[in-house]
């Protein structure tokens, strides 16, 4: 176990789970590039002072977010609907007339496109060149940068203050989170709001969703840890809105201190977190034990299926699957291949274990006996899509919240 200081407050971090060296979670590679693959330590801990759960080691951001970034947001139809509603909520609940909206990590434009409408100015900040190009291809305004306090300064000088700074699945990815909050402080108009949603540590613990832990997710937010950070930047949490997507997230709404009414939901969530013990290291020791049991149950189930001669394939080459596959020691012996719909992933192999990624068409043409559902966060969408697979005897194996075959 490594000891390091909290990146945000300098407090002591209590490490609670060490996955060992891991490949880049989204680093789906061409078979000919296997020799160049690198591994980085993946270890997670909680700060005793500010309660922020965080990775102890950080992979250089250019290694993860670049012109070869494998994740295109628009592969999920449900997420497209979710982000249309997110944008509508921002526009109708939080904004003045003629607003300026800035989105961090806009990826292929899945949400940003809904701010391109008469009377609204929009700007996306997206460092991964390939997905940024996909957004620009739809006529969206995108700058190819890593957002931080300096970039915020440049934006405010060039375009004026923002009425909303929004982001989904990006704020927890940024190691220099303090600089992001400082940037929010520089960029926001006096009544402006900073709205972001990310995986929620309360859901991760409750569901033993350890596969949310991987290199891109540097922080695992609770209300307590976000409030501590916000206070240092004269910002305040004014609302918290749970989201069902991606297996449980929270949308945080921050404003300059004292400028907006604070919703009752904030105090309610603080009380729930107290009961769940989300600031207490002991809670995370129990989480680790649950993770180890989950791993053993999954490997036991896959071994039994293998012994019974069942054909098993993975469903969804998610970044989360990289943690599961490598932590559980899964292998081509357990999984024939992983099915996915993303063109940039098909034909590649999975990080670490090098399980082939194949087109979903192959899954359809020759259905296996069992599909291990790595994309469990899209379960409703996938179960609906695969009704005929199940009707003809195919089964899904899941592991969140517990290992189950059905």
> Does residue 124 bind ligand TMP (CB under 6 A)?
no
d(CA 340, CA 347): 10
In this chain, which stretch among 8-16, 69-77, 138-146, 213-221 interacts with Zn ion, using CB under 5 A? 8-16
**Between residue 317 and residue 346, which ones bind ligand TMP under the rule CB under 6 A?**
317-319, 340-342, 345
Q: What is the dihedral of CA 145, 148, 154, 155, to 10 degrees?
A: 80
The residue (of 260 and 360) whose beta carbon lies closer to ligand TMP is 360
Q: Are 321 and 374 in contact (CB under 8 A)?
A: yes
> Does residue 215 bind ligand TMP (CB under 6 A)?
no
Strand partners, 200: 221
d(CA 109, CA 83): 10
Determine the length of the chain: 406
In this chain, which stretch among 30-38, 171-179, 191-199, 310-318 interacts with ligand TMP, using CB under 6 A? 310-318
In this chain, which stretch among 49-57, 84-92, 189-197, 247-255 interacts with Zn ion, using CB under 5 A? 49-57
Q: State the CB neighbour count (10 A cutoff) for residue 131.
A: 28
Strand partners, 255: 193, 236
Residue 50 binding partner per list ligand TMP, ligand SAH, Zn ion, none, with a CB distance cut-off of 5 to 8 Å that depends on partner kind: Zn ion
Residue 321 binding partner per list ligand TMP, Zn ion, ligand SAH, none, with a CB distance cut-off of 5 to 8 Å that depends on partner kind: none
- Token pair, residue 215, equals 């290199």
Using CB under 5 A, pick the residue from 6, 142, 149, 324 that binds Zn ion.
Answer: 6
Task: With CB under 6 A as the rule, give the number of residues binding ligand SAH.
Answer: 20
Specify the residue for token string 């596969």.
211
Q: What are phi and psi of 292, to 5 degrees?
A: -65, -40
Q: Indicate the pairing of strand 338-340 with strand 357-359.
A: parallel
Question: How far apart are CB 368 and ligand TMP at their closest, in Å?
Answer: 14
- Token pair, residue 202, equals 């309360």
d(CA 273, CA 277): 6
> Does residue 382 bind ligand TMP (CB under 6 A)?
yes
Residue 381 binding partner per list Zn ion, ligand TMP, ligand SAH, none, with a CB distance cut-off of 5 to 8 Å that depends on partner kind: ligand TMP
> Does residue 75 bind ligand TMP (CB under 6 A)?
yes
For residue 279, count CB atoms less than 10 angstroms from its CB and return exposed for 0-12, middle for 13-18, buried for 19 or more.
buried
> Does residue 165 bind ligand SAH (CB under 6 A)?
no
Residue 115 binding partner per list ligand SAH, ligand TMP, Zn ion, none, with a CB distance cut-off of 5 to 8 Å that depends on partner kind: none
Using CB under 5 A, pick the residue from 25, 47, 112, 355 that binds Zn ion.
Answer: 47
Phi-psi region of 396 (alpha: psi -120 to 50; beta: other; left: phi over 0): beta
Question: How far apart are CB 84 and ligand SAH at their closest, in Å?
Answer: 13
Helices 177-187 and 223-232 cross at an angle (nearest 10°) of 60
Using the Cα atoms of residue 81, residue 103, residue 239 and residue 285 in order, give the sign of their dihedral.
Answer: positive
The residue (of 187 and 226) whose beta carbon lies closer to Zn ion is 226
d(CA 87, CA 101): 10
> Does residue 374 bind ligand SAH (CB under 6 A)?
no
- Token pair, residue 98, equals 């003629």
Map residues 12-51 to x or -, x wherever contact with ligand TMP holds by CB under 6 A: ----------------------------------------
The residue (of 219 and 287) whose beta carbon lies closer to Zn ion is 219
Residues that bind Zn ion (CB under 5 A): 6, 8-9, 11, 47, 49-50
Residues that bind ligand TMP (CB under 6 A): 71, 75-76, 316-319, 340-342, 345, 360, 375, 377-378, 381-382, 385
């Amino acid at each position: 176990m490594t000891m390091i200081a909290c990146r945000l407050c300098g407090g002591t971090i209590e490490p609670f789970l060490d996955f060992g060296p891991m490949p880049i979670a989204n680093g789906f590679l061409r078979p000919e590039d296997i020799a160049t693959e690198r591994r980085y330590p993946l270890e997670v801990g909680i700060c005793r002072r500010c309660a922020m759960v965080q990775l102890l080691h950080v992979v250089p951001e250019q290694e993860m977010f670049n012109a070869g970034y494998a994740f295109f947001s628009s592969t999920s139809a449900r997420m497209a609907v979710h982000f249309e509603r997110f944008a509508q909520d921002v526009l109708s609940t939080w904004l003045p007339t003629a607003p300026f909206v800035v989105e961090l990590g806009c990826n292929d434009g899945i949400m940003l496109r809904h701010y391109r409408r008469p009377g609204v100015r929009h700007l996306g900040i997206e460092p991964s060149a390939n997905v940024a190009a996909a957004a620009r291809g739809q006529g969206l305004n995108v700058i190819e940068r890593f957002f931080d306090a300096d970039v915020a300064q440049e934006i405010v000088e060039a375009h004026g203050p923002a009425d909303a700074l929004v982001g989904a699945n990006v704020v927890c990815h940024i190691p220099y989170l303090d600089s992001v909050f400082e940037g929010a402080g520089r960029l926001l108009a006096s009544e402006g709001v900073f709205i972001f949603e990310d995986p929620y540590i309360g859901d991760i613990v409750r569901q033993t969703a350890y596969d949310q832990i991987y290199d891109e997710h540097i922080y695992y937010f609770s209300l307590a840890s976000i409030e501590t950070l916000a206070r240092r930047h004269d910002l305040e949490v004014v609302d918290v809105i749970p989201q069902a997507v991606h297996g449980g997230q929270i949308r945080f709404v921050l404003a300059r201190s004292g400028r907006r009414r604070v919703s009752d939901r904030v105090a309610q969530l603080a009380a729930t977190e107290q009961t769940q013990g989300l600031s207490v290291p002991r809670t995370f020791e129990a989480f680790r034990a649950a993770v180890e049991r989950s791993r053993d149950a999954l490997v036991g189930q896959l071994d039994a299926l293998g012994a019974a001669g069942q054909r098993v394939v993975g469903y969804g080459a998610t970044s989360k699957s990289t943690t599961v596959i490598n932590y559980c020691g899964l292998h081509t012996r357990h999984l024939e291949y992983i099915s996915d719909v993303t063109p940039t992933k098909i034909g590649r192999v999975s990080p670490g274990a090098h399980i082939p990624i194949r087109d979903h068409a192959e899954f359809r043409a020759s259905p296996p006996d069992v599909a291990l559902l790595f994309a469990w966060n899209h379960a409703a969408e996938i179960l609906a899509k695969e009704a005929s697979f199940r009707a003809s005897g195919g089964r899904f194996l899941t592991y969140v919240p517990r290992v189950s075959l059905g």
